Structure 1
Amino acid sequence: MEKGEQTPFAELPEALVEEMLSKSEMVGESLYTAFKEIQESKERIRRQLQDENILKKDAEV
């Protein structure tokens, strides 16, 4: 980074930046868990939608 160039965090209080960074791992883990649950339930939901004739192929729409 060139001298004089500022980061987006340059004007934020250091304590706030530290707090945000310390919570970023927790947020990442929470997002990972949510995406994993969606991925694991995808087939079950797809089957349920097909059984109820809610999910259609593009050509059928």
Structure 2
Amino acid sequence: MCDPDGDYCYDKFNVCRGIFCGEAGQCVPVDTKPTCVCDPGYTNETYSLYCEPLAAR
């Protein structure tokens, strides 16, 4: 499956397979799509599937 808005593809049966959110994040399925949950002090506002330090913005 590919997400037209997010410019990424994912496995609809295991949505987090192959999704790497960075060292400070973890992929979780939300509404059958991969979503990165970032550690405190990190954000995924710039790249929806990658967590980067807040200071990087």
- Whether the TM-score (by the shorter chain) exceeds 0.5 is no
Q: Which has the higher strand share?
A: 2
Q: Which has the higher helix share?
A: 1
Relative contact order, higher structure (CA 8 A, sep 6+): 2
User: Larger radius of gyration, structure 1 or 2?
Assistant: 1
